[in-house]
Structure 1
Amino acid sequence: MKVYTRTGDAGETSIIGGRVPKDDPRIEAYGTIDELNSFVGQAVFLAQEVDFDELYLQLMRIQHELFDCGSDLAYARPREDKLKVSAELVDNLETWLDAFEEKNPPLERFILPGGSALSSSLHVCRTVCRRAERLTVTLQRTTEINPEVRRYLNRLSDYFFVTARAANAFSGIKDVEYERSGKVFR
């Protein structure tokens, strides 16, 4: 099988049910989700390196769910019977989020992204996830999408923030507070 097809040489690409320009908002959205998935793959490696097994297993599952997000956004006209992202996936993220947040040190001020290599990687995931979410919001203004994808991305960015803090705690590294931050979390 050849990887190249030459069908995109004119600046268009196939989606499920048609063709669109490669800079179409739909392609921007699921292309950014693909970018996010690559960064999650890096975090998977780092979680495995430090033996943070719980996080490793969750990130592996998230990689599959990100493919589901991209698949759902790839439909020219979403079909309910074909969609993969559901409220159940969002609920699951919330369960994981709550469990990590209970173990994290209290948070009063904004923190700087960083700390351990794993934490830094998860902060990159968080910011790319937020961009994917913004692009998905833009996409929904012009076309019908599975709204659970937008909800999933919103919750996933929160998950990355909480797990970035958990990764630092796991490694015995304190989060660095933003020097000029007031107490914003209670």
Structure 2
Amino acid sequence: MDQTFPDRSIKPFRMGRIPAYPVSGDQLVADAENRLQNHADIFGCALFQSRNDILSTLAALVEDEDYRTKFGKVNSQPFAALAELPPESQAAAMKIAELAMNRLIEAMVGQLAAGARALPGDYCVSYKLEAQLEKITGATTNGVKLKKVDKCTILDANQSVLPASFNSWLQRFGKATV
């Protein structure tokens, strides 16, 4: 179930929702042909959902003085200044924020997929990104019991679907809700 963001009863920028990916776990397991892309798309969905949640929080900070007070006097000053501007200027600022976050997601995906990067002292760094699909099998007082159903390497030194997925993510998940 998709909950409304931001939750104005808590301090701004506390998030962490489950990705609202439109494919069920059973469908993921059954769709072996699109396995890698589906796992990558869950990651993209989570990134863009976070972006949209941040945009909603930014809009709420501009619109709601009471919510700004929860953010603290120093942190809320830019939002108070933005609240004083005409609606067209506020909309332009929000669009700039959206474009900046899109660029950050694209740059992060590029960094992950770039392969080994040299570091000082004859070292390199590279990234590996794996997705693990787990089935909830029960619950205890210590939390849910999980059983691994599938594990998929989305990115490693040999391959990555992430860079080619960015534009698709932007179209599928990037519709801002503000």
Give the alignment's TM-score, normalised by structure 1.
0.29
Say which structure is richer in helix.
Answer: 1
Give the alignment's TM-score, normalised by structure 2.
0.30
Say which structure is richer in strand.
Answer: 2
